Amino acid sequence: MPAPNDDPPEPTPDQGPPPPDVTIDAPPDPPSTSLGSTQAAEVRARSVEATQSAVGRAVAHDVRIDQGALGLARARSVVTNESAIGVVAAGHVETRGGISFLVLARRWTGDATVLLDWRSVLAVACALVVLARLLRGRR
């Protein structure tokens, strides 16, 4: 029996080089996470499903929240059902009821109440610029 070797194995030609550090485009580990009636500060997984749960931050390819709360989500796809969401940055967001503070998405469908979207952020920024210029004129 050969002695154990602490060196990592060399990649074989069919495996290729080892994967780079995890980025937002690479699938995070573990492959999927399911939460039920619980809370989590941060979840990183390929797929996140939460039912009646509170999640502070979720980084995944797919996020699904049913009757829960989510502080920040960064994903390719986010689906919510009667949930409260803080900030969502995703390629596709689908909502069924609930409320969101800020939604940044290429495509958004559903009937949730969104407090800020890209148009309202632009309007607030313009109002702040006008207010700043008015206040500078008073000096």
Query: pLDDT tens, 68-116?
Result: 999 999 999 999 999 999 999 999 999 999 999 988 888 989 888 888 8
Q: Are 92 and 79 in contact (CB under 8 A)?
A: no
The continuous run of DSSP H or E covering 129 comes out as: helix 118-137
Angle at 117 (CA atoms; ends 61, 136), nearest 5 degrees: 130
Structural domain for 114, as ranges: 32-137
State both tokens at 107.
């495509």
Report if residue 99 sits inside a domain.
yes
Report if residue 109 sits inside a domain.
yes
State both tokens at 137.
């004129």
Residue 7 has pLDDT above 50, yes or no: yes
Report if residue 18 sits inside a domain.
no
pTM greater than 0.85 (yes/no) = no
Nearest to 56 by CA among 41, 74, 34: 41
Q: Are 118 and 133 in contact (CB under 8 A)?
A: no
Domain count, the chain: 1
Report if residue 74 sits inside a domain.
yes
Q: What is the percentage of the chain residues whose pLDDT exceeds 90? A: 53
Report if residue 14 sits inside a domain.
no
* pLDDT given for residue 21 in this prediction: 44
* Three-state secondary structure call for residue 101: strand
Report if residue 118 sits inside a domain.
yes
Radius of gyration, alpha carbons of the chain: 21
Could you please report the per-residue DSSP string of 40-100?
EEEEE-SEEEEES-EEEEEESSEEEEES-EEEEEEEEEEEEEEEEEEEEEEEEEEEEEEEE
Report if residue 68 sits inside a domain.
yes
Report if residue 132 sits inside a domain.
yes
